[in-house]
Structure 1
Amino acid sequence: MTETVFGRVTRLLAAFDEDEPSLPVAVLAARADIPLSSAHRLVASLVAEGWLVAVGEARYAIGTRLWELGELSPVAVRLREVALPHMVRLYEATGENVHLAVLDVDVPPERAEIVFAGRITGRASVPTLGREGGRHPLHTTGVGKAILLGRDEAWLDRYLAVPLLPETSRSITDPEALRADLARARARGWASTHGEMTLGNISVAAPLAPLTGLPPAAIGVVAHAGDALEKRLAPMVTQAARELSRALRPDA
């Protein structure tokens, strides 16, 4: 089957990542498995349309037009915009990092990850790895575990069929241990991690109610590990999740 131009453009744009947000054409061609001559033509067309922008010397990055189109997605327009006031209130109440995440529903459970849809932090907040648009595992993040609480057994079976990779020495990688952890979280209504994504940090998160047209989502807080901090944060996080869920309802 002859590959379409759209397919090549998709692979070329997917060549960018968080570690290297700008790349030369040769690297783009290699990562996208596209002949260098074709990559040069595609890059020139994408720059002309504003999808890519030239930065530095012979390097390219995602352009403003592509970012503008992304801001029209339901995750941005319906979820993040409504969520921002609730995230601000949660930050003001806790002084800690607040994360809003969604499940990537465009891939099968075996490849599932969360995507950060929003983030609020301050100078006194603990450093975290999350950024808007960044991807992270479900099983090592509080918001990821919170999203897992709403997945059915068939979905979880497929997700757990793939080895769970550790992020730290405290990451839960045994499928049955993760199922037990999720069962405890489901019973109390919120999920948590303890040094499973970053040593020395804890996270507390709660899922949002399902809403037609939006992917499964969760809101959570990340803080330095401390005695009784988890139980102090949990009521504030679950309240924020309930209030945001109500605000997102069409009749709200």
Structure 2
Amino acid sequence: MRHTSAQAPSVVDRVLNVFGAFTPDRPALTLSDLSRRARLPLSTTHRIVGELARRGALERQDDGRYRVGLWLWEVASLSPRGTGLRENAMPFLEDLYEATHENVQLAVLDAPDVVYIERISGRNAVNVVSRVGGRFPAHATGVGLVLLAYASPEVQEQVLSGPLKTYTPKTIAAPEQLRRVLAGIRRDGFVISDRQVELISVSVAAPVFGPDGTAVAAISIVVPVEGTDPRVLVPAVRAAARGISRSLGAPKALGQPVGPSGDWQAPV
């Protein structure tokens, strides 16, 4: 249960606990499953699930299990960090994919994690753990490192002071090492994340800026370690990120500071 207050959970808490019971590996649950995972009485769960199903927020399958409903997806699609950003980014993501036929991703920061809002993947592309709508610790991903580098000091300290989970021997798990990496990203405007999540892949990521000069998203391309020089991909990834930034209303012509490489960057 996600409710942490000493007080009894409110109706909203209970509803959110029901939604929180679903996970990528458990997308369909019985009423008993929902009751147990949400830590609610079965009678309460039955009442809440019934109301949610009537509204279309949950859907009941033929086998009696429940899934998240289409109505909830419609509501979620109204998020300002979802649809509008994705629509502006898609032409550039598609161009990047066509040039490489590897995994291309778009993510936003929800510290200490990133949330992936788009991914294009080829049949023969290297395996990745990300999925649209999924989240992953920011410190262990290329897109997350980029977004942390341009985040506020408060957000950075939140992540640096928390546990930094390791996935491979290459995962950045030491706060001082992470500080140095973030400083390098602000200097260079991109990052090459080397085998942090899986030892078979490396990613190149760059920030996407919005009209106010802040980093609103990041894009990356994930490629196999074997037979790939990630440095060759840096210009293409940065060009795509700049294109999305301009589409969002943050072109060089608006007067953002210019970095040492000649590419505009948000104030840091």
> RMSD value over aligned CA atoms?
2.0
Alignment match of 2:56 (pick from 46, 50, 54)? 50
Does the 8 Å contact 1:145/1:192 carry over to 2? no
| Cα distance, 1:152–1:76 mapped onto 2, change above 3 Å | closer
1:17-96 superposed matches below 5 A: 17-96=23-102
Partner of 1:121: 121
Q: Which amino acid aligns with 1:52?
A: L
Does the 8 Å contact 1:141/1:193 carry over to 2? yes
Instruction: Determine if the alignment matches structure 1 residue 204 to structure 2 residue 195.
Output: no
Does the 8 Å contact 1:98/1:119 carry over to 2? yes
Determine the C-alpha separation between the residues in 1 that align with 2:26 and 2:122: 25
| Cα distance, 1:28–1:206 mapped onto 2, change above 3 Å | same
Write out per-residue CA displacement over residues 162-217 of structure 1, whole angstroms, 9 at most, x where no aligned residue: 120101121110011111122222221101211101111000000111346x9831
Determine the C-alpha separation between the residues in 1 that align with 2:202 and 2:97: 15
Determine the C-alpha separation between the residues in 2 that align with 1:83 and 1:8: 36
Write out per-residue CA displacement over residues 59-78 of structure 1, whole angstroms, 9 at most, x where no aligned residue: 10000111111112212321
**Cα distance, 1:45 vs structure 2:** 1.1
Identity of aligned residues (%): 39
For normalisation by structure 2, the TM-score amounts to 0.86
Determine the C-alpha separation between the residues in 2 that align with 1:130 and 1:21: 16
Does the 8 Å contact 1:149/1:207 carry over to 2? no
| Cα distance, 1:43–1:182 mapped onto 2, change above 3 Å | same
Does the 8 Å contact 1:99/1:120 carry over to 2? yes
**Cα distance, 1:56 vs structure 2:** 4.3
* Number of aligned residues: 245
Does the 8 Å contact 1:205/1:220 carry over to 2? yes
| Cα distance, 1:103–1:211 mapped onto 2, change above 3 Å | farther
Which deviates further from its counterpart, 178-187 or 238-247? 178-187
| Cα distance, 1:124–1:17 mapped onto 2, change above 3 Å | same
User: Greater relative contact order (Cα 8 A, min sep 6): structure 1 or 2?
Assistant: 1
Determine the C-alpha separation between the residues in 2 that align with 1:237 and 1:207: 9
Instruction: Determine if the alignment matches structure 1 residue 102 to structure 2 residue 108.
Output: yes
Q: Which amino acid aligns with 1:44?
A: G
Question: Structure 1 stretches (4+) deviating beyond 4 angstroms?
Answer: none
Secondary structure at 2:209 match in 1: coil
Q: Which amino acid aligns with 2:206?
A: A
| Cα distance, 1:82–1:178 mapped onto 2, change above 3 Å | same
**Cα distance, 1:20 vs structure 2:** 0.5
Structure 1 unaligned segments of length 5 or more: list them: none
Secondary structure at 1:114 match in 2: strand
Secondary structure at 1:163 match in 2: coil
| Cα distance, 1:130–1:238 mapped onto 2, change above 3 Å | same
Secondary structure at 2:219 match in 1: strand
Determine the C-alpha separation between the residues in 1 that align with 2:195 and 2:123: 21
Partner of 1:150: 150
Instruction: Determine if the alignment matches structure 1 residue 239 to structure 2 residue 239.
Output: yes
Determine the C-alpha separation between the residues in 1 that align with 2:197 and 2:42: 38
Secondary structure at 1:187 match in 2: helix
Determine the C-alpha separation between the residues in 1 that align with 2:250 and 2:51: 40
**Cα distance, 1:44 vs structure 2:** 1.0
